[in-house]
Structure 1
């Protein structure tokens, strides 16, 4: 398995995975919008995307967004997206992608990682096994109904 940081050159590999991720979260498939969204993220470099490959086949990805903690005055990442193609699950790909994100935080001296996911996501046990702790302070969300 190979893990690489995605660039715009990897869009064709990333688009079907990201679309599958969105469908998993009950969104309508839209390859054109997915491609435009990911191209924008990669061009603006406002996220870090790692792709997992097995035998030159893209099998999973994770996307990290930048955040800052005002209290500790340190940067951190939110691991907002993690998806493994259904045909490749239970092969430790999620663990390897998360560990890659942890290594990036250590390398940069960042405070840590926040994972944003639905409370019913079956990957909850994976996050806890990898040392993530449920944080009861991060429980509120305001949604702009105009978007």
Structure 2
């Protein structure tokens, strides 16, 4: 199964910086960058997602559709592909972290700016180790 990595954040500069970090840490060579929750959901619901797992770096605070709303929509999917979510935010509010970690699909919570060490540590998360055993 292939792992596709998606950055979902309305800040294009953050998306570019995160793309560079993801490449430099060996997480992925070609991440998908989405600037809205709607754009990300359209890709996740595409019929071409069979035999694909997703790792999402999902911003909490976005206009029109928040990261929480994206998570809720993913939870509603009848038969979604495997989706693992890292919530990304500028919020240091412990309530946000607790809420994020209450979702089964959420495997991490990162405060911006994302640190290289945190990305490298993701390779050791049990749900993801098969994708990085090389």
TM-score (ref. length: structure 1): 0.33
RCO (CA 8 Å, sep 6+): is it higher in 1 or 2? Answer: 2
Max radius of gyration: which structure?
1
TM-score (ref. length: structure 2): 0.35
